[in-house]
Amino acid sequence: MSHSTPVDRPASESPDAAPTQVAGQPSAHPSRTTELASLKIRLRAALRQFPDFPSPGILFEDILPIFIDPTLHEALIRSLELHVLQSGNGQKPDVIVGLEARGFLIGPSLALRLGASFVPVRKQGKLPGPCETQAYDKEYGQDFFQMQCGSIKPGQKVVIVDDIIATGGSAAAAGELVKKMGGSLLGYVFILELEFLKGRDKLQAPVFTLLAGQEGKTT
């Protein structure tokens, strides 16, 4: 479960900053804000970096240490829970949608914590029964995501989760599947972001990155 980005520019620290109040909106719960900021520091420190893997000029970020340590795993799920509670203005999602495959690492646990259902999005042909299908573009051609029909009811509030946002194509496809079923998409939640790929520009709902994104440019 890992992510990569060119090493020629430092990581941006702005997403790790504590949430700030926006004019006209209620301020975040102060104790939750402090707790979230502290948890982010612990999680960021746990990540491992592997320069020049899988090829020269690439910095590979490994999130597996978070799952090896039960206390860090708990900190990750608690951090995501705190964000959802802060951003929802009292509204909890009815459904957590996790993208294949690394969204399955965090989606079910977060859903249980929030008292929500969990719905997987999988590659075409992996789910039984009637499914909704959505195409998305990859670097070399198209791929297809599917969700089982009826897994989201019209009007249900939905949050989509995954480990990383890169180009944003797969996340956008998942959002389209939610809309096809009549769900109300509250937003997207990711652990990391490759900011230089500008994937969030493709998403038509609020995007939250838990840890500092990485900036860079293709060479």
Q: Active-site residue numbers?
A: 102, 139
Sheet of strand 184-193, all strands in order from the earlier edge strand to the far edge = 131-138, 141-148, 117-123, 95-99, 157-165, 184-193, 207-209
Residue from 106, 46, 49, 48 nearest 71 by CA? 46
User: Other CB atoms closer than 10 Å to residue 130's CB: what's the count?
Assistant: 9
Q: Are 97 and 185 in contact (CB under 8 A)?
A: no
CA angle in degrees (0–180, nearest 5) for 141-107-20: 95
Q: Are 197 and 139 in contact (CB under 8 A)?
A: no
